Amino acid sequence: MVLSVTLRPPSQTLPLNNDTNNSFNPHRPLLHFLSQCSSMSQLKQIHAQTLRTTTTHHPNTLFLYSRILHCSSLFDLDYAFRVFDPIDNPNSFMWNTLIRGCAHSNDRKEQAILLYYEMLNEGSVVPDKHTFPFVLKACAYLFALFEGKEIHGHVLKLGFDSDVYINNSLVHFYATCGYLEHARIVFDNMSERSVVSWNVMIDAFVQLSEFELALKLFAQMQKLFKPDGYVMQSVLSACGNLGALSLGMWIHAYVLRKCDSDVASDVLVNNSLVDMYCKCGSLEIARQVFERMHTRDVTSWNSMILGLAMHGQVEAALEYFSRMVDEDRIMPNSITFVGVLSACNHRGMVGEGRKYFDLMITKYKIKPVLEHYGCLVDLLARAGFIDDALELVSNMPVKPDVVIWRSLLDACCKKNVGVELSEEVARQVIESEGGICSGVYVLLSKVYASASRWNEVLDVIEERLGSIGYEADFSQAPMVDELNDGKQHSLELHSERLAIAFGLLNLKPGMPIRIFKNLRVM
């Protein structure tokens, strides 16, 4: 009777051989079944047959159990631990299998680190070159800096400091924990670098907002390796955050001309292109890239909605939201509603903003976070609904941050709601920022000026600003009324005008000038 695996549904049963003849060697067919195993029920049958037909002293049994452990780690980590625990003297592959399974899981990454230390304490095997990338991945996710540094020491002690895969993991670990200098030291000292090494380092610069350094490193990388889709995403993100439209367009052209079709059509690369064009203010090109995408995910739609909202194209942003949920049947997420609420905020659409906020909670079961409350508070405050905004802040389940308090204070200044309320909001901002907030005193001085309380404007505020090291620039537009010549002088020093003048002086004729103003590009 030959062992066979029945893979056709609905049966999950394996008609396994029960022959216990000593001349029969079960290891080879069991390994064959494991190579075709596709469910936990099949794996349990193979495991049961292994227990019945093999002996622990046979040299092939340990290898068989290592494959069972590997399969079970993919299906059920708890079962994998039950397979692992009775094994005497597990080898490094078995330890690595469990560490990898925990490192890749959603809720057991800490256990990956504990397993690593248990492996060291057990003492029968030492970590190998496959161990460290798995455990460093868990350290990066948990921001476990102390443990990661200690593991780095083990890497050096055991002589793995020249292994390119381990060094890639170290760069990623340090960058994820915010230690960019450490990541760069590891990268610079690598005796060998792969394309992944460059990708990880460039992405580290981007994640920590060192966009110019990322682009410089990308230029160096091009001399050695052909860029792939992964690094293109990072570089496009850097271009978007710098407003480097020309370089972003060059990368777009490079993707279309030089990269494989699967990279050019990759949804993540196209999402990065849409995001880059939106951040650089080229909404029409962003739309073209978006509309030509064969496949779109929630990030694709979010990029367009956020981009349109950022540039004040409210109707278009809300139209894309409707298409997203009605035509493509894609479920919006938390980021989607940040874009939708931001769009309503740009146009002062209080009723629409409240409607979408309620829709997010009631229909889509999305729990509001600080960004959603911030959008709605700012919307209400800007529209003059100061009491409603304050009530929302009082009842929201999360602690308001300094951005929310600043929005309220700014609205108080513009709507002349009264000195007492403005002072209370200003106090909240000061407490939120820990006392370092010269901008708050400037806003508060406007409140005093509007109430004709000039003593507070010229004396108290000046003293408070001076106490934190602020020196007033009297060349800027003053609070009190002045002659037209003075107003014209103030206008000449406006930041937008300075930016345009700087661009005209330094750029070649015909070159476009793009100016960042808050979150917009003009």
Q: Residue 463 in contact with residue 443, Cβ under 8 Å? A: no
Q: Which two tokens stand for residue 125?
A: 């095997």
SS3 517: strand
- pLDDT, one tens digit per residue, over 43-94 is 787 778 777 777 777 777 778 778 877 888 888 888 888 888 888 888 889 8
In this model, does residue 447 exceed pLDDT 70? no
Q: What percent of the chain lies above the pLDDT cut of 90?
A: 48
Q: How far is CA 327 from CA 320, 331, 490, in A?
A: 10, 11, 51
Q: Residue 409 in contact with residue 425, Cβ under 8 Å? A: yes
Domains of the chain: 219-295 (no CATH), 296-398 (1.25.40)
Between residues 23 and 189, which one has the greater pLDDT? 189
Task: Give the CA-trace dihedral at 366, 369, 371, 373, to 10 degrees.
Answer: 90
460 HSE (CA, 13 A, CB side): 12
In this model, does residue 268 exceed pLDDT 70? yes
DSSP state of 228: -
Q: Which two tokens stand for residue 444?
A: 């508060």
Sign of the Cα torsion 261, 263, 268, 270 reads negative
Between residues 483 and 117, which one has the greater pLDDT? 117
SS3 521: strand
Position 21 scores a pLDDT of 46
Locus of tokens 């972003």:
248
Most confident of 94-103, 255-264, 269-278: 269-278
Position 456 scores a pLDDT of 54
**What does the alpha-carbon distance between residue 96 and residue 165 come to, in Å, rounded to a whole number?**
15
Position 386 scores a pLDDT of 84
Position 40 scores a pLDDT of 77
pTM of the model: 0.75
**What does the alpha-carbon distance between residue 268 and residue 286 come to, in Å, rounded to a whole number?**
14
Average pLDDT of every residue of the chain: 81
Position 23 scores a pLDDT of 46
Which region holds residue 441: left if phi is over 0, alpha if psi is between -120 and 50, else beta?
alpha
In this model, does residue 177 exceed pLDDT 80? yes
Position 488 scores a pLDDT of 47
- pLDDT, one tens digit per residue, over 476-508 is 444 444 444 444 444 444 566 666 777 777 777
85 CB neighbour count, 10 Å cutoff:
8
In this model, does residue 511 exceed pLDDT 50? yes
**What does the alpha-carbon distance between residue 25 and residue 5 come to, in Å, rounded to a whole number?**
17
